[in-house]
Amino acid sequence: MTTTGTVLDEIIAGVREDLEVRRAQISVTEIERLARAASPARDARAALVGDGSTMGLIAEVKRASPSKGSLADIPVPADLAEIYATHGASAISVLTEQRRFRGSLADLDAVRERVQVPVLRKDFVVDPYQVFEARAHGADLVLLIVAALDDDLLRELYDLIAELGMQALVETHTEEELDRALALGADLIGVNARNLKTLDVDLSRAAALLQRIPRGPLAIGESAVLSVDDVEAYAAAGADAVLVGEALVTAGAPAASVTAFRQVARRGRPAPEGAQA
C-alpha cells in the first residue's frame, strides 16, 4: 500500500529491478531448494528477550541511507558485526538493498559466517523470492514493511517466513499500519520513528505508537537513536528492544555504544485495563 511518487515507491521500484536480475541468475526453484536445505534458523525472539531485564539491541551494519547518504565505508562488514556481537548485541541487522543503502547479500553471507547471534535481512521485501533468498543466505529474521505491502501479500510473506523457520520483524509507522500488524498476529512489531514515505523523523510519535502495542508481541523501536537518552526514551514508551544503525557506524566507538545501549533497563508495557497482571 504505497502512494505514487513517495520515496518508498522509488526505492521499491529499484528493488524490483535488481530482484529480476538475480532471478535471471538463480531460478526460484533453485533458491527455494537452497532455502529449504539451509541450517535451522536461530530464535531471534529469545535472543531479544534475553533475561528480560535490559533492552534488546539489533545492531546494524549500515553504510548509507536515503536520508543521510554515505555514513561509513565498512569494508569488512563481518568485522563490525563481530564487534557488535562480542559486546552484547542481541542480533545483527544487515542491509542488503544496494542502491540507497550500499548493501548486498554478500554482506549477509559474511556476517552469518562470523557471528552466532541471530541475523536480520533488512531490505524492502516485496516478493516470496526474497524470503527464500534470506533463508538461503542464513538469515534468521526478515523485515516486512507494512507500508510497502497490501494485506494479502503481507500475510503470504509472513506465513512463508514462518514456514521456513524464520521470524518476521513487521515494521509500522502509523496507527493504521500498527492495527494491520496486530491483525496479522505479528510476534515482533517494529515502530519506525522515520516515515519512509517522507523520511521525516519523529521519536515522540513512535513512542505513542509503542504504547499501543499490547503485552505479548515484542515491541521494537527503530530509528532516531543517537544516544543512550534516545534508548531510554524508547524504554519509557515500552519498547522491548531497539534497532540502531547510524549511531553505531558514525560515532567511532561501536563497542562502547553497544555496551551502553544494552545496559538500559527494560520497563515493559502496562497490561490493558482490567487484565490480570
Catalytic entry in 32, 133, 171, 177: 171
Domain-embedded: residue 277:
no
Catalytic entry in 97, 223, 246, 257: 223
Catalytic entry in 32, 60, 177, 246: 60
Q: Is 90 a catalytic residue?
A: no
- Can you give the pLDDT at residue 3? 40
Q: Is 171 a catalytic residue?
A: yes
Residue 266, Cβ neighbours under 10 Å: how many? 18
Domain-embedded: residue 1:
no
Catalytic entry in 90, 93, 192, 257: 192
pLDDT for 59-88, tens place per residue? Answer: 999 999 888 889 999 999 999 999 999 999
Mean pLDDT of 201-221: 93
Q: Where are the beta strands (DSSP E) in 156-214?
A: 167-172, 188-192
pLDDT for 118-175, tens place per residue? Answer: 999 999 999 999 999 999 999 999 999 999 999 999 999 999 999 999 999 999 999 9
- Can you give the pLDDT at residue 251? 82
- Can you give the pLDDT at residue 28? 97
Report percent pLDDT > 90 for the chain: 86
Q: Is 232 a catalytic residue?
A: no
Flag the least confident range among 35-49, 95-109, 180-194, 201-215: 201-215
Domain of residue 101, CATH code: 3.20.20.70
- Can you give the pLDDT at residue 273? 54
Domain-embedded: residue 75:
yes
Q: β-strands 69-70, 64-65: how paired?
A: antiparallel
Q: Is 223 a catalytic residue?
A: yes
Report percent pLDDT > 70 for the chain: 96
Q: Which 8-state DSSP code applies to residue 216?
A: S
Catalytic entry in 90, 122, 195, 257: 122
Domain-embedded: residue 131:
yes
Q: Is 32 a catalytic residue?
A: no
Q: Is 192 a catalytic residue?
A: yes
Query: In this model, does residue 240 exceed pLDDT 50?
Result: yes
Identify which of 200, 158, 162, 199 has the alpha carbon closest to the alpha carbon of residue 182: 158
For 79-125, give the DSSP string: HHHHHHHHTT-SEEEEE---TTT---HHHHHHHHHH--S-EEEES--
What are the two backbone dihedrals, phi and then psi, of residue 226, each rounded to the nearest 5 degrees?
A: -120, -15
Catalytic entry in 97, 133, 222, 246: 222
Q: β-strands 218-222, 119-122: how paired?
A: unpaired
Domain-embedded: residue 2:
no
Domain-embedded: residue 270:
no
**Domain span holding position 19:** 7-263
For the chain, how many structural domains are there in total? 1
Domain-embedded: residue 258:
yes
Domain-embedded: residue 272:
no
Give the integer Cα–Cα distance in Å for 135 and 44: 14
